[in-house]
Amino acid sequence: MGLADLSGKPGLLYQTSLPQQLNFSLGTDYTGASWSSAAAISSQTASREPHSLALVDGCPAAAYQRQVVIGRYAIFYRRASDAAGTSWGSEETVVNVSSYANGSAGIHLLQLHGMLALATQQDNSGHLYFFRSDPANPGTWLSTGVDGISRTGNYPAWALLGGRPTIASQYNGGDAVVLRRADDVLGDTWPTDPQVVDDGAAAGKDIGYHTQLVVINGTPVIAYYNETDSKLRVASLIEQ
């Protein structure tokens, strides 16, 4: 699922199996006690997790993965034409990928200094990539490899920290939880070595699932699930 604050109302992006499609609903008030009728975002077959929901220029927007032909998938972006999300614009292709494994463990969409950006996997090895829209070429996305180590793109979540994109993710398939902060405000270059948030020693590895990142009063706070001890953990950076 994808959940976002849409101008004081909860917005929800979710998948159904019958029919197999991706839907959007908006709460009628801040409590979420009742919801609007579902709007189909992607009604074609094989719309799959993961997906992400964000508020973009006053309207809900979604990033998601679906099959384009048998055995091949792509990550798409689509924005609603109105604040309620009752009608939606056309799809933009962010990146074509070679199998469902690509991006299967997380897509996170946010705005970046007036542009769009998302963190996800791009290839079968699980490498972490950062994509942003190209203002000079509408509908085109630019990609930057964040980490060349295998299986570091699982469960990425990103936020702006001091104006720079910062990504928290699982590392090497569950060995650790790490934090990476871009060297520039656009996320075009990244440091070689990530900052280790949790080295997995206390939990016996297999950590960092369903990672979430928020910045509170200038401090990054990360929540994640550990498979080994079945615990939800929260970590914050004491010094920057």
pLDDT digits (tens, 9 = 90+) for 100-127: 444 556 788 999 998 999 998 766 667 8
Task: Tell me which amino acid residue 150 is.
Answer: S
Angle 123-127-130 (CA atoms, 0-180°, nearest 5)? 95
pTM value? 0.85
Question: Measured between alpha carbons, how far is 133 from 141 in angstroms, rounded to an integer?
Answer: 4
First to last CA, the chain: 32
CB 198 within 8 A of CB 190: no
Sequential DSSP letters for 163-195? TEEEEEEEETTTTEEEEEE-SSTTS----SSPE
Angle 189-193-199 (CA atoms, 0-180°, nearest 5)? 135
Gyration radius of the chain over CA positions: 17
Our measurement of the distance from residue 197's CA atom to the centroid of its chain's CA atoms, rounded to an integer in Å, reads 19
What is the predicted pLDDT for the residue at 240?
A: 54
Mean pLDDT of 31-51: 79
Among the residue ranges 134-138, 150-154, 167-171, 204-208, the one predicted with the least confidence is 150-154
CB 107 within 8 A of CB 64: yes
Q: Which residue has the higher pLDDT, 166 or 239?
A: 166
What is the predicted pLDDT for the residue at 101?
A: 45
Among the residue ranges 45-59, 158-172, 212-226, the one predicted with the least confidence is 45-59
Average pLDDT, the chain: 85
What is the predicted pLDDT for the residue at 149?
A: 66
Over the stretch 170-211, which tens digit does the pLDDT of each residue have?
A: 887 788 899 999 999 999 999 988 889 988 877 677 888 889
Contact residues for 131 (Cβ-Cβ < 8 A; gap 6+): 94, 95, 117, 118, 119, 120, 141, 142, 143, 144
Q: Tokens in use for 35?
A: 């919801």
Among the residue ranges 6-20, 32-46, 218-232, the one predicted with the least confidence is 32-46
Handedness of CA 60, 92, 112, 172 (dihedral sign): positive
Domain 101-236: which CATH class? mainly beta
Question: Measured between alpha carbons, how far is 147 from 202 in angstroms, rounded to an integer?
Answer: 25
Angle 71-88-135 (CA atoms, 0-180°, nearest 5)? 80
What is the predicted pLDDT for the residue at 47?
A: 55
Q: Sheet containing 141-147: which strands, arranged edge to edge? A: 107-112, 115-121, 128-133, 141-147
Q: Domain coordinates of the chain in residue numbers?
A: 101-236
